[in-house]
Chain A
Amino acid sequence: MHDLIAISPLGATRPRIDSHGPVTLTEVTDRALASVAARLGHEAQANALVASLIGAQAPGPARMGGETLMAFWMGPDQWMLDAPIDSHEDLAERIKAEAKGSASVTDQTGAWCRFDLSGDGLADVFERLTNANTRAFTGGEAQRAAVEHMGCFLLCHSPRHISVIGPRSSAGSLHHALLTAIRSAH
């Protein structure tokens, strides 16, 4: 066996945590991701597949849903599934087996990095970073938007807890942008 050391998107052995003012910025490394895109003519089956996976209706445009295994909308008839990596490291393989050809399923775990912002005044941070109207978020929104020129997903669990999922290869730039905006706002 190779003796490899797993590193986080920011290159450390442990996820980074920063606190400034009322906001805590946490690097999240314990989630598995897989995209599900309906194949032409199988949109209804793909919709039902996502619904059965998350135990709730497949989320509509710019929404997310589910609990342990959750999904957010990426585009028409496309979703990203998100689950704890400890129990779902093979998320894409499992979904692929259930999809039975109705959807294209792609492992996305290593493509993205995720930072969670928690605390008060998050809208003050995001209005410095993105077009998305985070001030109107109440919980359940999942929007793709540019953050410092990087295409990111913003997931609003509640107005006091928002996740930013961005390209893993730009994790350092995204972390810098988020931390700079937090320091600017608070």
Chain B
Amino acid sequence: MLINHPLLGPRDASEFVYKGDAALINRPDPDAPDALEQFIDYGYLRDNPAGAHRELWFHEQGDRSWLVVTRNTLTHEITSVELARDVARREGRSK
């Protein structure tokens, strides 16, 4: 499997480490009144879609950037690769 790194071009998947569901970017507010429920959801509950899945990959044997990869879990087709920091900033995180 090749991952088309936004800065470095196509790289072999063996250079990357899978780091989980991209929803992990959206860490809940610890001061929210329902923070406990939100953190249980954040920590333990995952969707398991048969189809497009947004996931985090870490380029460990490369530039060590975190990527958000949209991968089809049925075909392994990758439809989008973005730097996780760009995604996080767009979603209002990490300012």
B61:A61 contact, CB within 8 angstroms? no
User: Please, which residue of chain A has its CB at the minimum distance from the CB of B14?
Assistant: A131
Q: Chain A contacts of B62 at CB under 8 A?
A: 143-145
Chain B contacts with A in 20-65, Cβ cutoff 8 A: 60-65
Asked if A62 lies at the interface with its beta carbon under 8 angstroms from chain B, I say yes
Interface of A is mostly: strand
Q: Is the interface of B mostly helix, strand, loop or mixed?
A: loop
Check B7–A76 contact: CB distance below 8 A: yes
| A74 engages B61 (CB within 8 Å) | no
Q: Complex formed: what's the CA distance from A144 to B11 in Å?
A: 12
A144 vs B7: C-alpha distance when bound (angstroms): 13
Give complex CA distance A21, B32 in Å. Answer: 68
Q: Is A75 within 8 A of B61, CB to CB?
A: no
Q: Chain A residues with Cβ under 8 A from B1's Cβ?
A: none
Whether B71 sits at the interface, judged by CB under 8 Å, is no
Q: How many residues of B contact A (CB 8 A)?
A: 14
Q: Are A75 and B63 in contact (CB under 8 A)?
A: yes
Judge whether A151 is part of the interface by a CB distance below 8 angstroms: yes
Q: How many residues of A contact B (CB 8 A)?
A: 12
Nearest residue (CB) in A for B86 is: A76
CA separation between A62 and B83, bound complex, in Å?
16
Q: Please report the C-alpha to C-alpha distance between residue A76 and residue B11 in the assembled complex, in whole angstroms.
A: 16
Given contacts A76-B83, A76-B85, A146-B15, is CB(A151)–CB(B61) below 8 Å? yes
What residues on B are CB-neighbors of A76 within 8 Å?
7, 63, 65, 83, 85
**Is A61 a contact partner of B11 (Cβ separation < 8 A)?**
no
A74 touches B14 (CB 8 A): no
Shortest Cβ distance from residue A138 to the other chain B in the assembled complex, whole angstroms: 16
Q: A62-B8, A76-B85, A131-B15 are in contact. Are A146 and B61 (CB under 8 A)?
A: yes
Residues in A lying within 8 Å of B, measured CB to CB? 61-62, 73-76, 131, 143-146, 151
Contacts A/B (CB < 8 Å), 20 sampled: A61-B7, A61-B8, A61-B63, A62-B7, A62-B63, A74-B63, A74-B64, A75-B64, A76-B7, A76-B65, A76-B83, A131-B11, A131-B12, A131-B15, A131-B61, A143-B8, A143-B62, A144-B61, A145-B15, A151-B60
**Chain B residues proximal to chain A, CB less than 8 Å:** 7-8, 11-12, 14-15, 60-65, 83, 85
